[in-house]
Amino acid sequence: MKSDWLLSAQGLARDYGGRRVVTDIDLRLAAGNVLGVLGPNGAGKTTILRMLAGTLAPSAGRVAIAGVDLAERPRAAKRHLGYLPERPPVYPELTVDEYLRFAARLHDIPRARRAAAVTAAKADCGLIEVGQRLIGALSKGYAQRVGLAQAIVHRPAVLILDEPTAGLDPSQLIGVRELIGRLAREHSVIISSHILGEIQAMASHVVIIDRGRLAFSASREQLAADASWLEIGLAHGPDTATLAALPEVADIRHTGDGQWLIRAAAGRDIRTALAERAVAEGWGLHTLVARPTSLEERFMRVISSGDDAERAPA
Ligand SMILES: Nc1ncnc2c1ncn2[C@@H]1O[C@H](COP(=O)(O)OP(=O)(O)OP(=O)(O)O)[C@@H](O)[C@H]1O
């Protein structure tokens, strides 16, 4: 399968015991992008990421990494890939250095270059001080940094990170998120999470997985375009043209008696100015709320639509 995408998946599906838990997944990752895979627990994120990373065979569909078919040439395809699984393999009895040297060997880094590769990965992941420490003695935050270091030690083009911040305490969370943000400047990343804000903050393209299916897909630009709509309700409002002429109003729709949707100029928050003007003019302001984005709306619907235990494609 030839492709201009760094990673592409077509028609991915996976069965467990005759039950299809993931179906019809098409995904693409362009160079320099961060693809966020959002979904509640049990939606199928791990199953999908494992198929993308080549640790789980799809029941149907194909994956190509840097144009190399993962099923036909797994070793060549995986050379372009670093993977942090949901539950990283634990070697509590190894030191950080020993484990990363082992990871460098697994990733086919020639012996003469391994020490430099390990040092560079440790430097990038804030691990220089803990090279001699046993992995079993590290905090969860540091263990996760080690997981990230093994994923980048061979400098792959694509990083696949499965819920990398799950189970971290708030201070560890900040450090690991910041580290992932830095890694994302050097690598193209696929990252999964069940936390909407985390994916919104990092991803240049977001997909939502619901019961094993792709339920939503949008780029950051598409999300930004619908992020700035406000609902405004005025008991004694002026005409639509007057509202449209207010500073930094980019678009307006009259949605009902005394009701409008107003979109501010990109990146502007005009709520305070609108409220002040409405009060000054005696427009009888009774509603002023930011409308949820299509991503937020869709994710809330997915979250509230069912019992996790029964999540399976409809
Ligand atoms: N080895 C397995 N055998 C049988 N069913 C499985 C297996 N692995 C996953 N499943 C089922 O597949 C579905 C998707 O699970 P998956 O772990 O991919 O979801 P997830 O979105 O990653 O959830 P979580 O965030 O809880 O890890 C679930 O219904 C799960 O029970």
Q: What type of residue sits at position 122?
A: K
Which CATH number among 3.30.499, 2.60.290, 3.30.420, 3.30.70 corresponds to the domain 228-292? 3.30.70
Residue owning the nearest CA to atom 24 of ligand 1: 41
Q: Cα of 44 to ligand 1 centre, how many Å?
A: 6
Phi, psi of 4 (to 5 degrees): -90, -10
Of ligand 1's atoms, which has the minimum distance to the CA of residue 46?
Answer: 22
Of ligand 1's atoms, which has the minimum distance to the CA of residue 17?
Answer: 4
34-38/68-69 β-pairing: unpaired
The tokens describing 205, both together, are 């393209």
Residue extents of the structural domains in the chain: 7-218, 228-292
Residue owning the nearest CA to atom 5 of ligand 1: 16
The pTM score is 0.83
Q: Cα of 298 to ligand 1 centre, how many Å?
A: 21
The tokens describing 88, both together, are 């990283």
**ipTM for this model:** 0.94
In this structure, the residues whose C-beta lies within 6 A of any atom of ligand 1 are: 16-17, 21, 39, 41-47, 86, 194, 311
Q: What is the DSSP string of 219-241?
A: EHHHHHHTS-EEEEEETT---HH
Residue owning the nearest CA to atom 16 of ligand 1: 44
Domain 7-218, classified CATH 3.30.390.30, yes or no? no
Q: Cα of 42 to ligand 1 centre, how many Å?
A: 5
Q: What is the DSSP string of 60-98?
A: EEEEEETTEETTTSHHHHHTTEEEE-SSPPP-TTSBHHH
Q: Cα of 113 to ligand 1 centre, how many Å?
A: 38
Q: Cα of 311 to ligand 1 centre, how many Å?
A: 9
The tokens describing 283, both together, are 């427009």
Q: What type of residue sits at position 124?
A: D
Q: Cα of 70 to ligand 1 centre, how many Å?
A: 22
Is-same-fold flag (7-218; 228-292)? no
Compute the C-alpha angle 182/117/73, nearest 5°: 90
Residue owning the nearest CA to atom 25 of ligand 1: 41
- Starting at the earlier edge strand, list the strands of the sheet with 188-193: 81-84, 158-162, 188-193, 34-38, 205-210, 213-219
- pLDDT tens for the chain, 314 residues long, are 445 689 999 999 999 999 999 999 999 999 999 999 999 889 999 999 999 999 999 999 999 999 999 999 999 999 999 999 988 777 899 999 999 999 999 999 999 999 999 999 999 999 999 999 999 999 999 999 999 999 999 999 999 999 999 989 988 899 999 999 999 998 999 999 999 888 988 999 999 999 999 999 999 888 877 667 899 999 999 999 999 999 999 999 999 999 999 988 877 888 999 999 999 999 999 999 988 777 888 888 887 876 444 444 44
